[in-house]
Amino acid sequence: MNDQINISGEKIEELQNLASQNLFMHAQQINDWAGDLKIFVKGEGVWVTDINGNKYLDSLGGLWFKSAGYGRKEIAEAIYKQACEIETPPANAACIPQIELAGKIAELYPDKSARSFLTSGGSESVETAVKMAKKYQMNTGKPGSYKVISRRYSYHGATAMAVSLGKPSTSDTMGPEMPGTIHVQNWDSYRIPNNMNPVDYAVQCANEFQAAILHTGSDTVAAMIAEPISAAFGIHIPPKEYWQRLREIADKYKVVLIADEVITGFGRTGKYFATDHWGIIPDITTVAKSLTSGYSPLGAAIATKK
């Protein structure tokens, strides 16, 4: 399908040259796109139109976040209206939407007294959650704990600490990870050992967290983090027993359980949070992406009353 786009060939060439000289793209080598960058100019619902007028169905929904669809004027108008009134509060104060959003998140979250720390995206939400966990441990009797257990074949963001938690991570080529980072096996839907019941395998994978805690000393472990459904290296949907076992292990060893719902949060699995499917409440949930469907850079670290 084609749309009429009134941008001249000269202008397109100018933009391609400018991008080739001055722009970095996320997770792509410059030589892979220089001179032939995909440039989009219009979006409506599930459809997007590029600078040459080609219309596409965006089946991925941005990078997994366009839940409300492209081109929603009422969202754009709400952002415009707020920016005309007051765009950000002065230091140590709040704006009305910030308070109402925190209230709305708590209303949707299984713990209605949950409190949100608003951030500018998923990586920052993960950073915040890890800091919250360490501070919580410091205040509640495990002051020496600083280690964080995450899983291989996970992705938790692009900032310097968050890449440590992901694996394989860019920290493999960028020097030491955050001290105290421990990686355990992921749940893997595609590599269940022959003849093994998926539930038994899920519990076995979850038990890797326990083995790591026992090996390193539970007094030193502040938090464990995982995506409810990891997506960076294949989409892996675990049986409910996996997260139920993670909850038991976290409780047993007084480790803060962080669910990274940056991809799964706000309705992408049919419930507001993927962990709602399994009847467990993490201590902290990190969200971003579908929280705003990409209309503004916003994330949150949602902490339970505990």
Ligand X SMILES: Cc1ncc(COP(=O)(O)O)c(C=O)c1O
Contact region with ligand X (CB under 6 A), list: 3-11, 80-88, 156-164, 239-247:
156-164
Three-state DSSP class for residue 71: coil
Closer to ligand X at the Cβ: 142 or 298?
A: 298
Nearest to 288 by CA among 59, 179, 131, 127: 127
Residues 6+ apart with CB under 8 A from 211: 184
- Asked if residue 266 binds ligand X (CB under 6 A), the reply is no
Closer to ligand X at the Cβ: 157 or 282?
A: 157
Q: Is the dihedral of CA 262, 284, 137, 119 positive or negative?
A: positive
- Asked if residue 288 binds ligand X (CB under 6 A), the reply is yes
What is the size of the binding site for ligand X (CB under 6 A)?
A: 13
Report whether the peptide linkage leading into residue 198 is cis, meaning its omega lies within 30 degrees of zero: no
Phi and psi, residue 144, nearest 5°? -85, 0
Closer to ligand X at the Cβ: 208 or 260?
A: 260
Closer to ligand X at the Cβ: 1 or 60?
A: 60
- Asked if residue 151 binds ligand X (CB under 6 A), the reply is no
DSSP labels, 35-60: T----EEEEEBTEEEETTSBEEE-TT
Closer to ligand X at the Cβ: 12 or 232?
A: 232
- Asked if residue 260 binds ligand X (CB under 6 A), the reply is yes
Among 127, 177, 188, 227, binds ligand X (CB under 6 A): 227
Closer to ligand X at the Cβ: 108 or 158?
A: 158
Burial class (CB in 10 A: 0-12, 13-18, 19+), 210: buried
- Asked if residue 157 binds ligand X (CB under 6 A), the reply is yes
What is the nearest approach in angstroms of ligand X to the Cβ of residue 301? 11
What is the nearest approach in angstroms of ligand X to the Cβ of residue 164? 13
Phi and psi, residue 54, nearest 5°? -75, 135
Nearest residue to ligand X on Cβ basis:
122
What is the nearest approach in angstroms of ligand X to the Cβ of residue 153? 12
- Asked if residue 284 binds ligand X (CB under 6 A), the reply is no
Contact region with ligand X (CB under 6 A), list: 33-41, 133-141, 152-160, 213-221:
152-160
Contact region with ligand X (CB under 6 A), list: 2-10, 83-91, 154-162, 174-182:
154-162
Q: How far apart are CA 227 and CA 27, in angstroms?
A: 20
Q: How far apart are CA 130 and CA 276, in angstroms?
A: 22
Share of the chain residues as helix, strand and coil, in percent rounded to the nearest 5: 40, 20, 45
What is the nearest approach in angstroms of ligand X to the Cβ of residue 208? 19
- Asked if residue 298 binds ligand X (CB under 6 A), the reply is no
- Asked if residue 263 binds ligand X (CB under 6 A), the reply is yes
Q: How far apart are CA 184 and CA 211, in angstroms?
A: 9
Burial class (CB in 10 A: 0-12, 13-18, 19+), 73: exposed
Q: Is the dihedral of CA 3, 63, 168, 243 positive or negative?
A: negative
Closer to ligand X at the Cβ: 155 or 209?
A: 155
Q: Identify residues 71-130 at the interface with ligand X (CB under 6 A).
A: 121-123, 126
Closer to ligand X at the Cβ: 88 or 120?
A: 120
The residues that touch ligand X, with contacts defined as CB under 6 A, are 121-123, 126, 155-158, 227, 260, 262-263, 288
